[in-house]
C-alpha cells in the first residue's frame, strides 16, 4: 500500500438485528427482521443474515418479507438502543485517529495514515479495531483496507460478515476487473442496462472502454465513473461527524385524509425529531415536510425558521403549516414525514426577557431523561391520549 493514504471502511454486520440477537439469545442463528410488523403497511429496516438467505432485504415491504420468510421474528426495533451501540463503536474508532467520517449509524471511514507509526500497519489497525468492537459490544464488524474510500468500502463489502480485506494499489485493477459494473457506486438498476447496451458488463470492460465514447453517452459523469473503474478516488475522509438532517416518518396502515389525524401524527413525528436534535446537540434552521400519496407520488416542502430550534412544538407548528398549505382539500396520504435540516451546533441566544424559552428547554430535557430511562411510550402529550 502506498505511503500517501491508508483508508479503512468499518461496517457493522447486520447491525440492528445483530444487536437484537445479542440481547435475546433465543434469536441467535434464526431469521430476524427489524421494521414494520408483517400485518402492517411499512418496510424492513434491517434483516439478519439468516433472513437474507430467503431473499429478505432492507427497504422491502414487510408483507413481502413475511411471504418470503414466514418463520422470521419481526421486531419493531429500539433505535435509541442502536444509537447507543453506534456511539460505543464510533468511540473505539476515534481511539485510532481523529479522522473518522461517520456516514451512517453503522459505518464509517477512517484515515489512519498518520497513525501507522503508533499502531502498526493498516491491516494491524483493522484487526485491532475488530477485536475491540467485539470485546466491547459483542458485535462483529467487517473492515476494508485500501488507498482510498471507494476501494475500502468495496473491500469491506466483499468479506462480510466478520471479514477483513486489504486491496493494495498494486492489486486494485486485478481485483476490480471481474466484478459487475453495478458494484460501482452510482451504477444502479436503472443505469446498469445503459452500460450493458454499450457492451460494458464488468468493471474490466469499463477499464478498457474509450473515455471519449463514454463522455458522449454520460457527459460529465464519465470521468468519475472511469476513475472508479481504475480504482481512483481522491475524496478525503471528512471528520465532521454531524448529521446533515434528522427526520422521522411513518407509513399508515390505511391511507389517511383526516386533517386531525394527520396533525396528531405530525406532532408525534416532531417529538422524535426534537429528541434526536437535542441528543445530537444541534438545532434545525429548516423544517421539512414529506407527503406520499396512495399512488406513491412523493412531495417535499421546506420552510426556514426565524431562529434555529430543537423544540418539537415549533417544529410541529411549522410542519403543520406546510401541510395545511398543501392539503387545502382532503387527499389520502400514505406516508408522512417530518425533518429538521440546516443543522447548527451554535447555542441558541437566550432572550433574557422570555423565561418561557428557558422553561420549555428545561421541560424538553426532563422529558428526554424520563423517556431514556423508562421508554419512549411512558411519557406522552395529553393531546395524544
Q: What is the pLDDT of residue 362?
A: 52
Alpha-carbon torsion (282, 77, 189, 227), positive or negative: positive
Among 107, 268, 272, 312, which one carries the catalytic annotation? 107
Q: How confident is the model at residue 363 (pLDDT cuts 50, 70, 90)?
A: low
Q: What is the pLDDT of residue 22?
A: 97
Which of the residue ranges 169-183, 208-222, 274-288, 330-344 has the most confident prediction, judged by mean pLDDT? Answer: 169-183
DSSP label at residue 5: -
List pLDDT tens digits, range 85-96: 999 999 999 999
Q: How confident is the model at residue 382 (pLDDT cuts 50, 70, 90)?
A: low
Q: Lowest-confidence range among 14-18, 251-255, 269-273? A: 251-255
Q: Lowest-confidence range among 6-15, 192-201, 233-242, 253-262? A: 233-242
Q: Please identify which residue in the block is written with the cell numbers 440481547.
A: 23
Q: What is the pLDDT of residue 3?
A: 46
Nearest by Cα to 97 from 79, 112, 82: 112
List pLDDT tens digits, range 78-135: 888 998 999 999 999 999 999 999 888 899 999 999 999 999 999 999 999 999 999 9
In terms of pTM, does the model score above 0.95?
no
Which of the residue ranges 192-196, 222-226, 287-291 has the most confident prediction, judged by mean pLDDT? Answer: 287-291
pLDDT higher for 312 or 242?
312
Active site residue 107: yes
Phi, psi for 132 (deg, rounded to 5): -65, -40
Domains present along the chain, CATH in parentheses:
1-170 (3.30.70.270), 173-229 (1.10.150.20), 245-384 (3.30.1490.100)
Q: Is the pLDDT reported for residue 138 higher than 70?
A: yes
Phi-psi label, residue 108: left if phi above 0, alpha if psi -120 to 50, beta otherwise: beta
Q: What is the pLDDT of residue 361?
A: 59
Q: Is the pLDDT reported for residue 270 higher than 80?
A: yes
Mean pLDDT of 5-29: 96
Amino acid at each position: 500500500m502506498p505511503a500517501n493514504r491508508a483508508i479503512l471502511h468499518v461496517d457493522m454486520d447486520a447491525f440492528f438485528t445483530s444487536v437484537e440477537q445479542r440481547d435475546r439469545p433465543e434469536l441467535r442463528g434464526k431469521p430476524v427482521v427489524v421494521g414494520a410488523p408483517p400485518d402492517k403497511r411499512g418496510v424492513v429496516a434491517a434483516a439478519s443474515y439468516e433472513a437474507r438467505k430467503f431473499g429478505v432485504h432492507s427497504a422491502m415491504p414487510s408483507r413481502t418479507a413475511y411471504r418470503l420468510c414466514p418463520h422470521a421474528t419481526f421486531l419493531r426495533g429500539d433505535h435509541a438502543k442502536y444509537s447507543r451501540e453506534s456511539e460505543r463503536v464510533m468511540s473505539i474508532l476515534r481511539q485510532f485517529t481523529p479522522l473518522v467520517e461517520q456516514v451512517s449509524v453503522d459505518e464509517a471511514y477512517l484515515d489512519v495514515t498518520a497513525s501507522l507509526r503508533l499502531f502498526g500497519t493498516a491491516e494491524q489497525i483493522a484487526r485491532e479495531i475488530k477485536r475491540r468492537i467485539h470485546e466491547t459490544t459483542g458485535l462483529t464488524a467487517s473492515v476494508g483496507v485500501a488507498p482510498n474510500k471507494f476501494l475500502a468500502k468495496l473491500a469491506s463489502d466483499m468479506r462480510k460478515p466478520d471479514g477483513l480485506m486489504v486491496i493494495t494499489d498494486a492489486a486494485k485493477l486485478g481485483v476490480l476487473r471481474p466484478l459487475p459494473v453495478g458494484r460501482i457506486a452510482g451504477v444502479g438498476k436503472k443505469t446498469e442496462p445503459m452500460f450493458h447496451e454499450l457492451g460494458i458488463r464488468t468493471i474490466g470492460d469499463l477499464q478498457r472502454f474509450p473515455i471519449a465514447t463514454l463522455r458522449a453517452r454520460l457527459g460529465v459523469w464519465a470521468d468519475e465513473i472511469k476513475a472508479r473503474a481504475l480504482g481512483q478516488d481522491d475524496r478525503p475522509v471528512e471528520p465532521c461527524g454531524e448529521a446533515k438532517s434528522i427526520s422521522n416518518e411513518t407509513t399508515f396502515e390505511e391511507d389517511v385524509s383526516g386533517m386531525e389525524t394527520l396533525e396528531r401524527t405530525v406532532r408525534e413525528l416532531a417529538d422524535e425529531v426534537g429528541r434526536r436534535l437535542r441528543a445530537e446537540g444541534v438545532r434545525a434552521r429548516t423544517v421539512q415536510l414529506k407527503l406520499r400519496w396512495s399512488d406513491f407520488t412523493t412531495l417535499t416542502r421546506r420552510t426556514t425558521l426565524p431562529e434555529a430550534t430543537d423544540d418539537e412544538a415549533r417544529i410541529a407548528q411549522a410542519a403543520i403549516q406546510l401541510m395545511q398549505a398543501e392539503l387545502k382539500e382532503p387527499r389520502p396520504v400514505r406516508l408522512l414525514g417530518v425533518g429538521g435540516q440546516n443543522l447548527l451546533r451554535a447555542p441558541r441566544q437566550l432572550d433574557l426577557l422570555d423565561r418561557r424559552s428557558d422553561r420549555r428547554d428545561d421541560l424538553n430535557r426532563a422529558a428526554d431523561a424520563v423517556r431514556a430511562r423508562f421508554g419512549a411510550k411512558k411519557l406522552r402529550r395529553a393531546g395524544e391520549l
